[in-house]
Amino acid sequence: MVVAISFSCCMPSLHCPPIIHPFNFNKNKPPTVAAMSNDPVREWILSEGKATQITGISPVGGGCINSATRYDTDAGSFFVKTNRRIGPSMFEGEALGLNAMYETGSIRVPKPYKVGSLPTGGSYIIMEFIEFGASRRNQSALGRKLAEMHKAAKSEKGFGFHVDNTIGSTPQINTWMSDWIEFYAEHRLGYQLKLAREQYGDSTIYERGKRLARNLAPLFKDVVVEPCLLHGDLWSGNITYDKNGEPVILDPACYYGHNEAEFGMSWCAGFGGDFYKAYFEVMPAQPGFEQRRDLYTLYHYLNHYNLFGSGYRSNAMSIIDDYLRMLNV
Ligand SMILES: *[C@@H]1O[C@H](CO)[C@@H](O)[C@H](O)[C@H]1NC(C)=O
Ligand SMILES: *[C@@H]1O[C@H](CO)[C@@H](O)[C@H](O)[C@H]1NC(C)=O
């Protein structure tokens, strides 16, 4: 199955609104006692964070949705993201995901410390600050560490996660299910197809996509799917390296799923031969891996279609049509 990709992926928005840091309003004036006691981030850093002094606060390049700030203190640095509009549930989901990955002791992720609400509305998350390092990208280290994470964390509850989260800004449903094919058909493909029909009135992609979703079983012949902990949104923007050249993964959309689904964003991730070689040394490829590749990119193409519009529709559509032909349904 060949899908031509003729445009660059995951284009960042060129029109981010200016980022306003809620705690930097009075940058040139010393903060008043009242302001300080109203700032839960500062309070946490100066208590549970074990700092006695904050020596610097600086903005860090982030996305449009959240603003990101580095706090330097005598107890080390902290990374803080704030969202001025929405409550803590999004950051709670992120913290649960980061923590689940952190606990595996495999690939490096920032340790989450604290999530809470801002007195002015909105929410924050405080986490470990990781100094990013050299531009040298070690693909085999990334492959091996990722496979170690997939191998380390299995779930007894089946497929899903403790909370729903988001993929981009689209909701991602993680209600537990014991059957992977059902989970993927309903919570992943089905959810996006429904959204496309609601948003664009696209009943063609909906009908054909649903037909595919009802007929996935032959693609999983002789495969035992185990619920592995997935980052869920692994593309080059969410992969970096620390000062020692260790891979670090960020901004997850975690859930327990088929490990192969982790490669669904591979068209934006630049995984090379070294990556896969190292990965499969730890997590051997399962029968039929190649024929499920496009199935797992389909979810992300549908999501991009729903997020960014019709430029991605033909990619999703040709994957669906190829499978319908191949499965003869
Ligand atoms: C990449 O990481 C592997 C360990 O996973 C290591 O053996 C290798 O030396 C590293 N390569 C470079 C260029 O740092
Ligand atoms: C991770 O990817 C998401 C898009 O899926 C993006 O919103 C976020 O900004 C990325 N994180 C980083 C650190 O670039």
What is the C-alpha separation between 123 and 116, in angstroms, rounded? 6
Write out the H or E segment, with its range, that includes residue 211. helix 203-213
* Smallest CA separation from ligand 2 atom 13, residue: 238
CATH architecture classification, 139-327: Alpha-Beta Complex (3.90)
Confidence of residue 61 (pLDDT cuts 50, 70, 90): confident
Q: Which atom of ligand 2 is nearest to the CA of 233?
A: 5
In this predicted structure, the answer to whether residue 315 has a pLDDT above a threshold of 60 is: yes
What's the mean per-residue pLDDT of the chain?
89
Q: Which atom of ligand 1 is nearest to the CA of 145?
A: 5
Which active-site residues does the annotation give?
Answer: 233
- The finding on whether 170 has its CB within 6 A of some atom of ligand 2 is no
pLDDT score at 62: 61
pLDDT score at 227: 98
Neighbours of 155 (CB within 10 A): 18
Say which ligand is closest to the CA of 130.
2
In this predicted structure, the answer to whether residue 17 has a pLDDT above a threshold of 50 is: no
pLDDT score at 134: 67
- For the ranges 31-35, 181-185, 299-303, the lowest mean pLDDT is seen at 31-35
Neighbours of 136 (CB within 10 A): 7
Q: How far is the centre of ligand 1, averaged over its atoms, from the C-alpha of 138 (Å)?
A: 6
278 in Cβ contact with 141 (< 8 Å)? yes
* Smallest CA separation from ligand 1 atom 13, residue: 138
Confidence of residue 36 (pLDDT cuts 50, 70, 90): low
Residue type, 179: D
Tokens of 32: 């008043």
* Smallest CA separation from ligand 2 atom 14, residue: 237
The proportion of the chain whose per-residue pLDDT surpasses 70, expressed as a percent, equals 87
Q: How far is the centre of ligand 1, averaged over its atoms, from the C-alpha of 142 (Å)?
A: 10
What is the C-alpha separation between 191 and 171, in angstroms, rounded? 9
- The finding on whether 231 has its CB within 6 A of some atom of ligand 1 is no
Mean pLDDT computed over 167-181: 97
Say which ligand is closest to the CA of 9.
2
* Smallest CA separation from ligand 1 atom 2, residue: 141
**How far is residue 286 from each of residues 140, 221, 283, measured CA to CA in Å?**
20, 10, 9
Higher pLDDT, 164 or 135: 164
Mean pLDDT computed over 84-90: 91
Pocket test for ligand 2, best of 19, 90, 233 (most atoms within 8 A of CB): 233
pTM (two decimals): 0.89
Confidence of residue 64 (pLDDT cuts 50, 70, 90): low
Confidence of residue 221 (pLDDT cuts 50, 70, 90): very high
In this predicted structure, the answer to whether residue 318 has a pLDDT above a threshold of 90 is: yes
* Smallest CA separation from ligand 1 atom 10, residue: 138
Say which ligand is closest to the CA of 109.
2
pLDDT score at 54: 97
The phi, psi pair for 77, rounded to 5°, reads -105, 150
Confidence of residue 33 (pLDDT cuts 50, 70, 90): very low
- The finding on whether 282 has its CB within 6 A of some atom of ligand 1 is no
Q: How far is the centre of ligand 1, averaged over its atoms, from the C-alpha of 130 (Å)?
A: 20
- The finding on whether 314 has its CB within 6 A of some atom of ligand 1 is no
Confidence of residue 6 (pLDDT cuts 50, 70, 90): very low
pLDDT score at 67: 87
- The finding on whether 238 has its CB within 6 A of some atom of ligand 2 is yes
